[in-house]
Amino acid sequence: MTRLSLLVAFVAFVVLTPAVSGAQAPAVPAAPTVVVRGDGEVRAVPDLAYVGLGTEHTAPTPKDAQAVVAKAMTAVQQKLAAAGVAKDAMRTTAYDVQARVDWVNGKQVPRGYLARHTIEVRVDDLARVGELLELAIGAGGTSVHGVRFDLKERAKLERDALTRAVADARARAEAVAAGAGSGVAGIVRIEEAGLGGGGPEPVMMRMAAAPMAGDAAPPVAPGETVIRASVTLTVRLK
């Protein structure tokens, strides 16, 4: 055999023979996964309320308007404090002074200044909401800007809703797996898809500054609050 023939045969052997050290194992197919959404909710009766109370007054000068409003709001807060409302349960939410004008023959005619002071009061005993509203108006409050209900244990109830959402998602994943003739081998990922609470809309009220009769305290119904949670669950099938 000539030298050229030997060289050709050697090259062919090298090309057609796989290298043992560089050989790669065949790729293992990834386990199939399923992504599902789970929902959970918890219902509870509110046990906490936030009440918006305001005082306002119009006077010829901003100083006079502010003085009257400050006196009225101080009286309101003192009355509430005497009734057992904690100091840290009252906070200012708005304060403003505005010039009031009338248009006469195309010209602005000043008619004084309006001062307003609004506070939010946390009421821990819902049975006292109507009573405290009556006291505030009797002490000099001129308006009630609504009642908003909430839950003292909201954080715990939100966690309960999340637990239910995960359980719902797991049940859905197992149902999907069973339909495919398989089962759930393990959880790959859990993501919180949403968390929120619904319930009765804030009760909007407005009361006159005149003192109310002893039996005129408004009845306030808190209704029911629903806390909802959603999760996205990714599972690996067997």
pLDDT for res 24: 65
Q: Does position 7 have pLDDT exceeding 50, yes or no?
A: no
**Is it the case that residue 120 has pLDDT exceeding 80?**
yes
pLDDT at residue 204 tops 50: no
The confidence band for 23, taking pLDDT boundaries of 50, 70 and 90, is low
SS3 202: coil
- Residue 107 is predicted with a pLDDT of 87
- Rounded to two decimals, the pTM is 0.71
Q: ∠ CA 30-34-36 to the nearest 5 degrees?
A: 160
Q: Which of 4-18, 20-34, 77-91, 187-201 has the highest mean pLDDT?
A: 77-91
Rounded CA Rg of the chain: 36
Reported as a pLDDT band with limits 50, 70 and 90, residue 106 is: confident
Average pLDDT over residues 188-194: 91
Q: 233: how many CB neighbours lie within 10 A of its CB?
A: 23
More confident residue, 47 or 202: 47
- How big is the CA angle at 41 (ends 40 and 45), to the nearest 5 degrees? 165
Pair 205, 146: CB distance under 8 Å? yes
Q: What's the rounded mean pLDDT across residues 102-106?
A: 87
Q: Give the tokens for residue 142.
A: 């001129």
The arithmetic mean of pLDDT across residues 128-133, rounded, is 94
Q: What is the pLDDT of residue 25?
A: 61
Structure token digits, residue 183: 């089962």
Mean pLDDT within 200-214: 47
SS3 label, residue 199 = coil
Whether the predicted pLDDT of 35 surpasses 90: yes
* Cα atoms in the Cβ-side hemisphere of radius 13 Å centred on 159: 3
> How high is the pLDDT of residue 173?
97
The mean of the pLDDT values for the chain is 85
